[in-house]
Amino acid sequence: MKVFRCGDVVPGCERDFLGADRDDILRQVAAHAVLDHGLPTVDPDLVRQVEENIRDV
Ligand SMILES: [Zn+2]
């Protein structure tokens, strides 16, 4: 499994995302970024930041 902590990219956010692989995490984070952080879309820079902070668990 892999985990991404949103707080690593957005200070103060407490959400963690567990996923089977990178695509699984990115799908969840994309929905969270739009719904909870009000981003209009998920741009390549955000994807890069998420990928850099995904850890194995
Ligand atoms: Zn967040």
* Digitized pLDDT (tens) for each residue of the chain, 57 residues in all: 999 999 999 999 999 999 999 999 999 999 999 999 999 988 999 999 999 999 999
| CA 5 to ligand 1 centroid distance, Å | 8
- Domain ranges, ordered by start, for the chain: 2-56
Q: For residue 5, give Cα distances in angstroms to 48, 50, 56.
A: 14, 9, 12
Q: What's the pLDDT at 28?
A: 97
| CA 54 to ligand 1 centroid distance, Å | 14
Range list of H helices, 1-57: 22-37, 44-53
| CA 34 to ligand 1 centroid distance, Å | 10
